[in-house]
Amino acid sequence: MKRFTATVMVATAFLVWARTAPAQVRAAEVTGGRVAGMEAHGISSFKGIPFASPPVGALRWKAPQPVQPWSGVKQADTFGPGCVQAASPYTQVPSMSEDCLYLNVWTPAKAAGDRLPVMVWIYGGAFTGGAASMAAYDGSRLAEKGVVMVTINYRLGPFGFLAHPALTKESGKGSGNYGLQDQIAALRWVKENIAKFGGDASRVTIFGESAGGISVSMLTVSPYAKGLFQRAISESGGNFGIPRTANEAGATAPTLRVAEADGQRFLQALGAADIAAARDIPADKVLATSGSAMVRFWPVFDGDVIPGDQYKLYEAVKFNDTPILVGTNSDEGNLFVRSSTTMAFETQVRSGYGRTADAVLAAYPHATDDQASRAAKDLFRDSTFAWGTAAWARLQSQKGKGKAYVYYFDHKTPQSPSGANHAAEIGFVFRNLGGGRAGAPPQSDVVLSELMSSYWTNFAKTGDPNGPGLPVWPAFTAADERVMYFDGVSEARPLPNAAQLKALDAYFADRRAVQRTQR
C-alpha cells in the first residue's frame, strides 16, 4: 500500500488546488425550464430538479408522467422532499411527500462541453425507505474526481410497488414497478439533459447499494432501460434468485400473480372499494396501512418492466450488456440476524431449503449456539447478497461482452470486529467518512476511501477500475474467480465463502427445477 499512499498524497494536494478553482456551470436549460445552481470549492450543485410530474391524485400508481414546465429560473439550491416512507434511524429523511420525483446534480465541469463521465446513484432501503437527500449521498466529494454525480428519488413501499389486477388491466402490461419506472424516467432525463452540466450521456454509470444495487441489476434486464447507461455498479445487490411464489428461501421479487394477490389484500385492509377510491385516500393512511397489513412491497416480475427470471434472461443473452462492478460485505448479515441456536438454525434451513437442506446445513457449521448465530448471519449474507452477486458476475463473464469485476469489503473496526456491516462501504465510496460523527477519520480509512473511490470513478470513466498506482484488479471469469478484497491489505484473492456459495448453487438450481414442473 506504500505506493498507493504516495498516490493519495499527490491526489490530495491536487484536490486542495482544485477546490480553489471555481466551476463554470452555474445555470442550465433543462426539460421543464431553467435552473440555477450553487458553487462551492470548485463544484456546482443543483438540487431539487423535477424529472417527472408529481405522482399524486390520479397519477398515483401510474408510470411517471412528463415534468410540468415552470416559468422563470428555478433556484436549485434545496433538496426536494423524499418519497413517503416510515420514519427510520437508518434513513433519516428531512422531509417527505408524494410529490417527490426530484434529482440532484454535482458537477466539476468548467464548461458544458467538457463531456465528463456521469454516475447516477440509486439509494437502498429495502424499497421502503431512503432518499437522494441523505447526507451520506452528498456527491460533491466524488465529483472532485472528475465525474458528474447525480442522485435520484423513486417511489417506495405501497406507492412504488403496489400490484393489483385493476392496475394491470389499466396499464395493459403489468403493475407494481412504479419505483423502477421512476428510476428509468430519471435516466431518460439524464440522457436528455446531462450535457448541459458538462456530462457525457454516452458514459453513464448506474450504481446503488442494497435495494439500489438490486435495482441496478433489474435495470440490466429491463428493455425500457436499454441504452440509458453504459456501466453498472451494484453494492450488496442483485436479483438473480428465483421468483417468489410462496415463502421460498432466498426469494424476494414476487411473480405478478403473487403481487396482485397481495395488492388485493392491501386494498381490503385499506378499506377501498377499488383503485379509484384508493387514490383518494390520504398518503399517511396508505402508509400506516402498509405497516399493519402484513404485505411486503417489492419490485415484481411483471413480464414488462422486468420481463422474467433474470438468471434465465442472462442465460438466454437477453440483457443490457455493459461492464459490471459488483460486490458484497463480509458481515452484512449482522444487521438482519442478531442471534440463533442450533435447533432454530436447523429448523430454519429445513423449512426453507427443501431437498438441499442437508447440503446447506453441512456448509454452515452450527454445532453450538455461537456457531449457529454465525451460521445464520452468514447464510443470510450469502442467500440474500453474495450468491446473487457471484451468479451475476459468472453470467456476465460467460454471456456478455462487458467484463465483470467483483469485490469483497472486509473492513473491520472496533464497532464491527467480525467484518464489514451492510452499507459500511458507502462512506468510503462517496469519500464521506464519519457519517456526521465528531472527529477526523483514521488515516487508514482515508487511504482506503481514496483507493475505492478511485476504482469506482475509473470504472465510470473507462469501464475498467484499474489505473496508475492502484493494485491490479483482475476481471472475474469462470477460469479465474478472483475478487478485490478491501481490508487491511487490499489485493485480489480467490472468491470468499466458495463452499457455501456452491451449496446455494445447488439449492437455487433445484428450486428452479421444481418451479418448472409446477407450471
Give the catalytic positions in this structure: 210, 332, 422
Helical (H) or strand (E) element with 73 = strand 73-75
Residues in the chain: 519
- Other Cβ atoms within 10 Å of 138 Cβ, number: 18
Rounded Cα gap, residues 387 and 505, in angstroms: 8
Q: How far apart are the first and last CA of the chain?
A: 54
H helix or E strand, kind and range, residue 107: strand 102-107
Cell matching residue 473: 484488479
Cα–Cα distance, 14 to 8 (Å, whole number): 10
Cβ atoms of residues 402 and 396 within 8 Å: yes
**Amino acid, res. 221:** V
DSSP 368-422: SHHHHHHHHHHHHHIIIIIHHHHHHHHHHHHH-SS-EEEEEE---BTTBTTSPPT
Dihedral (C-alpha) 232, 238, 242, 246: value to the nearest 10 degrees?
-130
In this structure, what C-alpha cell is assigned to residue 182? 421512476
The span from the CA of 512 to the CA of 355, in Å, is 12
- Rounded CA gap, 407 and 456, in Å? 11
CA dihedral for 375, 237, 314, 297, sign (positive or negative):
positive
**Distance in angstroms (rounded) separating the CA atoms of residues 272 and 160:** 18
Q: Which H helix or E strand runs over 38?
A: strand 38-40
Residue 465 one-letter amino acid: P
Q: What is the 8-class DSSP label of residue 97?
A: E
DSSP calls for 267-282: HHHHT-SSHHHHHTS-
Q: Under 8 Å CB-to-CB from 105, ≥6 apart: which residues?
A: 37, 45, 46, 49, 139, 148, 149, 150, 194, 197
Could you say which DSSP state residue 69 is in?
P
* Residue 177 one-letter amino acid: N
- Tally Cβ neighbours within 10 Å of residue 13: 10
H-helix or E-strand spanning residue 452 = helix 443-462
